[in-house]
Amino acid sequence: MMSWPFRIIGFLLWYAKEFLLANLAVTADVLRPRRRMKMRPAIVAVPAASRTDSEWTLISSLITLTPGTLTITISREHGILYVHGMFVESRAQLVADIQEMEDRLLNAMRREPGDLTRPTERPVVRPLDEAAPPFAPGAAQHPPTEAGERS
């Protein structure tokens, strides 16, 4: 195990590499003709091992700073990061990528590794307003009553 300042420098170098590769991937996909675009966007709930305020802030900022992944919101009581990814082949792949970045960040930030356990069960999620109409299965994903949305 390297000492603490060197671990931070190592993480920054690794992150710079990831940042440049993600920039290249997004730029190349925008320039590709519409038929052959490789993007497969998804919004995935990623279980997170962050505990303190600074860890939550840093991991969500670093995810957003990498082009192609975007933190939409976090749920601290459930320990979940909701991440929008641009190139997602499967749920497990995006979760593995985000958790690798988080592992490296926490290893660099903490003087001792601490606990890296993550919540395992899926949280029960509800609309923000309690007064919202009850959830109808099948109608929620893409309701046909979209007036303003176009591509």
Partner 1 sequence: MELIDIVQALGLLFIFLGIGTIIVSAIGLFKLPDLYLRASAVGTSAGLGVASIVLGALLMDFSGLNLLKAVIAIIAQLLTSAVGSMAIARAGYLNNALPAEITHIDELSLTRRSSDRS
Partner 2 sequence: MISEWTLEVALFLLAIGMIIASVRGLLGPRTMDRAVAADLIFFATIGFVALIGLRTGIEALFDIILIATLLGFMAALSMARLGSGGRR
Task: Give the footprint of partner 1 on this chain (CB under 8 A).
Answer: 19-20, 23, 26-27, 30-31, 34, 37, 39-45, 60-62, 64-73, 82, 84, 86, 88, 91, 125-129, 132-133, 135-136, 139-143, 145-149, 151
Return the number of the residue (128 or 136) whose C-beta is nearest partner 2.
Answer: 128
What sign has the CA pseudo-torsion 77, 80, 81, 84? negative
Let me know: does 94 contact 100? Beta carbons within 8 Å: no
Residues of this chain that interact with partner 2 (CB under 8 A) are 148-150
C-beta closer to partner 2: residue 130 or 149: 149
Please give the single-letter amino acid code of residue 29. Answer: D
Which residue carries 């303003």 as its tokens? 148
Of 52 and 61, which has the nearer Cβ to partner 1? 61
Q: Which is nearer to partner 1, 1 or 136 (CB)?
A: 136
Six-digit token pair at 145? 């009553």
Neighbours of 56 (CB within 10 A): 17
For residue 4, the partner it binds in partner 2, partner 1, none, with Cβ less than 5 to 8 A by kind, is none
Instruction: Decide which of partner 1, partner 2, none touches 141; Cβ closer than 5 to 8 Å per partner kind.
Output: partner 1
* Separation between Cα atoms, residue 135 and residue 143, nearest integer Å: 12
Of 54, 64, 47, 44, which is closest to residue 108 (Cα–Cα)?
54
Partner whose binding site includes residue 3, from partner 1, partner 2, none (CB under 5 to 8 Å by kind): none
